[in-house]
Structures are given as C-alpha cells and as structure tokens.
Structure 1
Amino acid sequence: MTTVAFRVDASDRIGLGHAMRCLALADALRARRVQTAFAAAALPERTADLLRSRGHTVLLLASAGETWRGEPGGEFDAAAQRADATATQRALATVGPLDWIVVDHYRLGGEWERGAAEFARRVAVIDDNAQRAHDCDLLIDHNVSAVCERYDGLLPGRSLRLLGPRFALLRGQFARAKDAPLRPRARVARLLVAFGGADPTGETEKALEALALPSLSALDADVVVGAANPRLEAIRNLAQARGRVRVHVDAERMDELMDAADLAIGAAGVSALERCAKGLPTVLIAVADNQVPIAQALARRGAAVYLGIAGDVDAHRLARAVGGLAAMPNLVQMMAEKAADTCDGHGARRVAARMLAADIRLRPAAPADRDCVLAWRNHEATRRHALDPAPIDPVSHASWFAERLRDADCVLLIGEDDCGSVGVLRYDVRGAAARVSVYLVPERHGEGLGALLLHAGHRWLAANRPAVRTIDAEVLADNHASRLAFAEAGYTLHRFTLQRRLSSGE
C-alpha cells in the first residue's frame, strides 16, 4: 500500500490554513486507498480530532514542547531544521516506509527536505511565498499569483511544479460539478463574514461595526468564527446588538453558507479560493503580507474587490465598498462569474493523481515502434494541436523514422509505465541546446502525464546527454493543455512568435 505522510503545524497564532489544505490533499489520497499520517509539533486537539475522524493517523513530535510552540516566524536555521527532520522520522517510524512526505511549513526549507529524503522516497512541498530554497521532487503553490518564474533558482531541476488555482487544495465540499450552473447573485441581500478560526487582527469585529452602520442595515449576515477566538464573546454581543446576524462557531459546512450568501467579506488565504470555487464574490482584506499579491491578483481577475492590508481598512471604508457593490447588481454577478472561472475545486484530486502516477520509464525507439508511432501521431487528438496538423502517409513516415534512428543528433524516446505506452519524446540536439517535440498516446490523454513525461526526459538527458543545458519547445497558443504541462515541468516563456494570415484581396 502507498503511504503518504504530512508534516504540518497549526495553532491559534499561525491559524489552521496549512492543516486544512493538507487535509484536503490527504482526503483525496485516502479516496485512492492511500495510507496517510500527520506529524505535528503543534496541533490543537480539535484539529487532531478532525484529522482522526477522516481516517488519518496523527502523531506528535516528541520535541514539540522544547523547540516549537506554534509561533509564526521565518525559516529555522539549518541545525533546527535537521533536528525537526529527525524528530519527524522518529514520530513516523511506526507508519512504515514512506512513498511521499508532504511538508507545509514556512519555517522548514531545503535543509529539512534533504533530511526527509533519507526516510521518504519522495518529498513534496506546499508553499505560497517563494522566499526560501527547496530540495523537493514536487512543489505545489495553488495561489492565483503563482507563476513558474517565482521559483527560478529556488528548486532543483527534478522538481515538478504544480502552480495556480487549478491545483488549489480545497476540501471535497467545494468541488464544483462540471458545467454545474452558478447560483445567480444579482442582488445583495445576505453577507458571509469569515476571517478564519483565529482572526488575530480582529477583522470580524470590524465587519460587524460596518454592518451596524445605517447604510448596511437592510442586509442579513452569517458570521463564522473559531471556538478558540479570544474575542468570541464580544463578537456575539456585537451580532446580537445589530440583529439579523447569525454567528457560526467552527462551521463544518462552509459550502452551504457560501451558497446562501450573495457577497462575502474575508481574507485572502485558502478561503479566498474556496469562495471562488463556489462562485462567491468577495470584498477582501489582507491580514498578512503574503496575502497581498493573492488579493491583488483576484482583484485584477475581477473576482473580488481588494481594500488593502488590515491596518489600513476601517469599518467606514468597508461599509462603503459593500454598499457600493449592493447598488451595482450587474457588477456583483460579473464578479461571481469571474470567481468561478478562477477555480473549480478539483485541485486536490489533480495533485493526488500527479503524486500517484507510476514512474515513467524511457527507452530509445526501435524499428519495431515505427507503425505505433505513426498511428499515435496521425490520431485526430494528436494532430489537433500539432504544428503541422496534416496526416503523414506511411511511406514518408517510414523514411523519416529510419533517418531519425540513424541521426546521432536526434534522440527519439518511447515513454512507458505500468499501464503501457505513455507517449513519444523527440530531442533535436545542437551542441548544448535541444528542441523537444512531445505527444501522448491518444488513449492516455487526460491522465496528467504530459509534465511527467517531460520530466522523465530531463532525467534521461542528464544521464545520457549531459552536454545539453537548455531545452526549447514550440507550442500553439491555443494548446492550453500542452502549455500547462510545460509550465509544470519548469518551462518558462522565452519569446513570442506572431502570425498573421493574409486574405486573397490584400
């Protein structure tokens, strides 16, 4: 049985977001019959109980009380990271051999990951700030602001990058059925206020103060807070004084509250993507510096209105923003559509599929592969996005194939896994540079294998053609699947090729 462990912490000071996104991925893995375990140095008992209730093993690091008390901060020094990796290994000793260990922790970086590689076959990192170097096999950054270039120089060449809201680690309740109609939100009558379980900057009270102003008196509201919020009693008093406000403590069905709301007020953490998956437009307040680029990116997409960092936003400014949106129902509906376009809630399933994909093995093409390669290349699904979509006749292909096998500067490889053939890689090598051409076996489309095949090619070149230092690729602008695969494999935009078709009358 495949075994995946998670190293994550949670506390009232650092919040629950890291643990919740790990839980989303762990649930997706459990659905595929994977054994899962969590190792933590700081974890509220209610969170540990939630993890256990979902079938995940929870283990505490023996050194938790001495080295880590759930406080926010920067990356640990090398010695502390090595000590934490050792403590993690000891805590997970009873779980058995690890196929993957996933770490989601701002204070642990490359030094910890190198230690983890000694007791786990592969290391995955969940990150969202691109401020520290990693030594991992897989990096997941599901934020709207995530782009491939952010991690240049911070990752080893072997790392697969899963970037953007397509890989958002959200719980299953937020997964939207394909082509499911969006709930109309053309009229703002009910608000949802949610700033996480801890809300250390007191934004919930600020929102309630805004709701108490005369301009927003006609609106109903649901307010979500955590049981450990030290200002819970004050929040309840404000809600009671205002009226038409329901306070939900540790709400389990946030999806239902989002479905009932017309507009949300919240922060720009993981919950911002949950709201996008439900097509719920938001007035955003950043409660930490690393939320600023996320909030700005969502505002640029038209999915949210961003007011600024918490210290710069008061109740009156918040009330003006909400009141302005309530007066523009068409804008609210447009924001809902833009939010839904940002994220579909299936990211955890996609990441789990990438992690569990069997290793792709590469072998040089042989004469016996000639007819299969032609059939794959001439399939409509392949030709649809080929640079030259015309079918190739068998005689021309036979000549071309024989020449490629003889050409010392052409590397023609067949990818295979435990399920059979995966696809074809061709590298045309010119000194230290190579140009890649890639396509999948048509029956294997939709399995997320493109980036994995490209990564297998990188490893093959490193072992067999070490003089190659750069790889170029050419992709049609409308081939979104291929562009995503190349981005996941670490390719970045180098130059544009523009084309204009001339009409006969010109």
Structure 2
Amino acid sequence: MIYIRTDMNDIIATGHVMRCLAIAEAARAQGEDIMFLLADPQACSLLDKHGFPYTILHTCWDDMDSELPIIGKVIEEQRIEKILVDSYQVTPNYLNALTQMVKTLYIDDLNAFEYPVNALVCYANYGKTFYQNRNYQRTNLFLGTQYVPLRRNFERCGKKQINPSAENLILLSGGTDKYNMLECLLESIEIKKYKDIQVICGVYYPKYDYICGKYSGHQNIHVYKAVQDIEKHMEHADLAVAAGGTTLYELCALGVPTIAYAIADNQLDNVKTFHKDGIIDYAGDVREENVVGKINSLLNLYYGNCKLRQQKSEKMQGLVDGKGAWRIAEILSQM
C-alpha cells in the first residue's frame, strides 16, 4: 500500500493533487493499492471521480507540524510503511518526524531546506543542478524531466502536426487565475484572427460565468472549467499561452508551441530555464510587469512562422516522454 499526503484548496490550487493523481494512477496500473491522506475534504470529489480512497485527518493544511500526533496515530492504526509527501507547507521538523516513522518520498521544486527524507524527486528542467550545495548522502535523489509526473494520456504522444498558421489557440492559467490573466488576454488579443480560442479555467476560477457571458457572442471562443481531458484540448491547439507550472510539461509532451508567464516564485526557475534553453518563450512575471503586450508580440511572431513552431515543438517533445509518473511509482514500490 502506498500512501500519499497532499492537499488542494483555493489558495494553493490543484497542482499538488493533480501530479499525485498521475503517480497514483501509474502505481495502481502496477498493481499497488493507494490511499490519500488529506487535511480536509477539499480534494474528496476529485479523488472520488478517479476512484481513490482517502483518509481525512481534520487538520490545518498550512500547519503540518500540528498534525504530527494525528498522522502518527493513523500510521500506527493503518500500519503505514511508506508515504509520498507533496506540499509546500512541510517543515524540517515535520519531515524528520515522519521519516522516523515511515519511509518517505518528497516531491520538491523549491529547495527550501535540506529535506530529511529517504527519497527526493525534483522533476524540473533545472533539477539536476538544483541541489549542488546540499549534502544528501542519506537521501536518494531522482532529478530531471524524466520524472515529470504526467497522466498516461501524455505518454507515447505522436509527433505534433504543425499547421501553416497558428489558427487554434489555447489559454491556460492554472487553478485560480489569481491575476486575472485569462480576461486580460481575451481583452487584448486579436480575437477575429483565430479560428478557435479555447479558454481553460481551473476549478477555483471565480469568473467563469462572467467570462462565458461576456464572450458568448463570439463563435470562436470556447470556455471550459476543470476539464478532465485536458490533453484533447491541448492536442487541438496550434499555440498555447500558459502559466509556468506542470502544465508546461504537459504541453511539452504533446509538442504544442507555448508562450509562458510566471505567477509565483516557484515558477521562475522553471520558465527562465525553458527560455534559456530555447524551448518555451518567457513573457515575464505578472506580479512585476505588464506581460500581456509581450505575449501579444510573441503571438504575432508565432502565428505565421511555421518553421519556428516546428523547431520549438521538436525541442519540447525531446524533453518530456510522459513516463515520469510511472518511474516515480516504481521508486515507491521498491522503497
């Protein structure tokens, strides 16, 4: 049995749970039983849809030290042997205490401190050089994009077909769109230029009904919320604009040329490395600059430049093979 400790809500959005779901699905396909451990019921409906059981700890998601007595009791009662932890709220004390009780694997992209765990995964494009100044003699490190935890739908994707013009656009902003990027982009782009514009809203996006109403008269704009088949929407697109989370790696697997922007500190290394490596263009940090103008300039650059989009697409698919979740599940099984 593999246990997974993670959370989602309107503050931290859905990213942690979604990548854990990808790993859980891979582990289930390998014959493992899975149990999620949650602070509260926020993720229950999503886990129900995917058929995964869970235990609610009834704790504070942002005060994990205080849950140690409770999770310790659950570990004893359910005879837990190993836990995957995916949360930015962990502390050295929490992970150290947990690792004294069970075998631990932690998913990281912050390098906030030296994590006292048995195994550490950093799947970011900068992962292989991220921990050079840390002393991880007792921790097994699994670093690099071969460990990007994507659902099996992103595995073995065929070569992306690049059309002469980027007439099909997809806009993605993560779980909450805290900085209102979807609306800003729709207000600024040349809508009539595109045959189809897909707007993908996260589960916690507060303006879904408003956006649907505002653009209901545009036959080429289609607004979706909390889609379960995101890969189909991405496959249809010639070009994407997306925030700098795991979504970028999904777009890489499918080879969809992408323009990225950052909305959080933990995305900065990610988007900047993509840009430096010539894989995904970075338009800027929405918290510090007006990135919409830069995005529009890049959209115009990409629109009719088939060769440029072909080059980017090939680099993207060369980086991510979609098998990362399977590899992490194997690591957990062998712990």
Match of 1:237 among 194, 210, 213: 213
Q: TM-score, normalised by structure 1?
A: 0.62
Q: Aligned pair 1:102/2:84, yes or no? A: yes
Q: Are 1:171 and 2:148 an aligned pair?
A: no
Do residues 346 (structure 1) and 326 (structure 2) align? no
How is 1:177-192 mapped onto 2 (pairs within 5 angstroms)?
180-192=158-170
Equivalent runs, 1:51-450 vs 2, <5 Å: 51-62=47-58, 64=59, 67-68=60-61, 81-94=64-77, 96-120=78-102, 122-148=103-129, 150-152=130-132, 154=134, 156-176=136-156, 180-211=158-189, 213=190, 217-311=193-287, 312-357=289-334
Shift of 1:143: 0.8
Contact 1:185 1:336 in 2 (8 A): no
Local SS of the residue matching 1:283: strand
TM-score, length-scaled by structure 2: 0.92
| CA drift at 1:101 | 0.6
C-alpha deviations, 1:384-406, integer Å up to 9, x for none?
A: xxxxxxxxxxxxxxxxxxxxxxx
Residue 81 of structure 1 deviates from its aligned partner by 4.3
- Partner amino acid for 1:151? Y
Counterparts of 1:241 and 1:313, CA distance in 2: 28
Which of 40, 44, 50 is residue 48 of structure 1 equivalent to? 44
1:370 alignment partner in structure 2: none
Q: Distance in 2 between matches of 1:143 and 1:316?
A: 27
For the residue of structure 2 that corresponds to 1:48, the secondary structure is helix
Structure 1 SS opposite 2:299: helix
Task: For residue 300 of structure 1, report the CA deviation from its aligned partner.
Answer: 2.2
CA distance in 2, matches of 1:170, 1:217: 32
Looking at structure 1, the residues matched to 261 and 119 of structure 2 have their Cα atoms a distance apart, in angstroms, of 31
| TM superposition shift of 1:155 | 5.2
Letter of the 1:332 counterpart:
R
Give the match's secondary structure for 1:224: strand
Q: Is the contact made by 2:164 and 2:304 (CA closer than 8 Å) also made in structure 1?
A: no
Shift in CA distance, 191/266, structure 1 to aligned 2, threshold 3 Å:
same
- What is the CA–CA distance in structure 2 between the aligned matches of 1:229 and 1:12, rounded to whole Å? 9
Change (3 A) 1:147 1:220: same
Q: 2:169–2:194: 8 Å Cα contact kept in structure 1?
A: no
Q: How far apart in 2 are the matches of 1:297 and 1:314?
A: 18
User: Displacement, 1:163?
Assistant: 1.0
Find the aligned partners of 1:233 and 1:93 in 2 and give their Cα distance: 46
Instruction: Output the amino acid matched with 2:178.
Output: P
Relative contact order, higher structure (CA 8 A, sep 6+): 2
By how many angstroms is 1:288 displaced?
0.7
Counterpart residue identity of residue 28, structure 2: R
Distance (whole Å) between structure 2 residues aligned to residue 19 and residue 29 of structure 1: 15
CA RMSD of aligned residues (A): 2.1
- Deviation larger for 9-18 or 300-309: 300-309
Q: Work out the CA distance in 1 between the residues paired with 2:163 and 2:245.
A: 23
Task: State the partner residue of 2:28.
Answer: 30
Q: Secondary structure at the match of 1:354?
A: helix
Code of the aligned partner of 2:69: T
2:184 and 2:218 map into 1 onto residues whose CA distance is 13
C-alpha contact (below 8 Å) 1:176/1:278 kept by paired residues: no
Aligned to 1:11: 9
**Alpha carbons 2:194, 2:220 under 8 Å: kept:** no
More divergent stretch after superposition (244-253 vs 349-358): 349-358
Q: Does the aligned pair in 2 maintain the 1:210–1:318 contact within 8 Å?
A: no
Instruction: Give 1:146 shift.
Output: 1.3
1:37–1:57 CA contact under 8 A, matched in 2: yes
Quote the offset at 1:242 in angstroms.
4.4
Q: Which amino acid aligns with 1:98?
A: I
CA distance in 1, matches of 2:76, 2:185: 47
Tell me how far apart the structure 1 counterparts of residues 35 and 332 of structure 2 sit (CA, whole Å).
16
Once the two structures are superposed, what CA deviation does each residue of 1:76-117 show, in whole Å capped at 9, x if it has no partner? xxxx544222222334555x3223111111110321112112
**Distance between the aligned counterparts of 1:244 and 1:349, measured in 2?**
37
Q: Say which SS state the counterpart of residue 240 (structure 1) adopts.
A: coil
Mapped contact 1:193–1:221 kept (Cα < 8 A): yes
Percent of residue pairs identical: 25
- Alpha-carbon distance between aligned partners in 2 of 1:244 and 1:308, rounded to the nearest angstrom: 27
Partner amino acid, structure 2, of 1:318: I
Alpha-carbon distance in structure 2 between the residues aligned to 1:234 and 1:55: 32
The question of whether the paired residues in 1 share the 8 Å contact of 2:99 and 2:116 is answered with no
Partner SS for 2:215: helix
Tell me the number of residue pairs that the alignment of Structure 1 and Structure 2 aligns: 334
Instruction: Give the superposition deviation at 1:174.
Output: 1.1
Shift of 1:202: 1.0
Q: In the TM superposition, what whole-angstrom CA distance separates every residue of 1:334-356 from its partner, at most 9, and x where no partner exists?
A: 11111111101100111112222
In 1, the alpha carbon distance for the partners of 2:132 and 2:294 equals 38
Task: Compute the displacement of 1:328 (Å).
Answer: 1.5
Q: Deviations over 1:241-289 (max 9, x none)?
A: 5441111111111111111000001011011101101111111010112
Q: Against the structure 1 CA distance between its residues 337 and 234, is the aligned structure 2 distance closer, same or farther, given a 3 Å change threshold?
A: same
Distance (whole Å) between structure 2 residues aligned to residue 185 and residue 334 of structure 1: 13
> Which ranges in structure 1 are unaligned for 5 or more consecutive residues?
71-79, 359-506
Q: In the TM superposition, what is the alpha-carbon distance from 1:223 to its structure 2 partner?
A: 0.7
- Assess, with a 3 A threshold, how the Cα gap between structure 1 residues 138 and 32 changes in structure 2: closer, same or farther: same
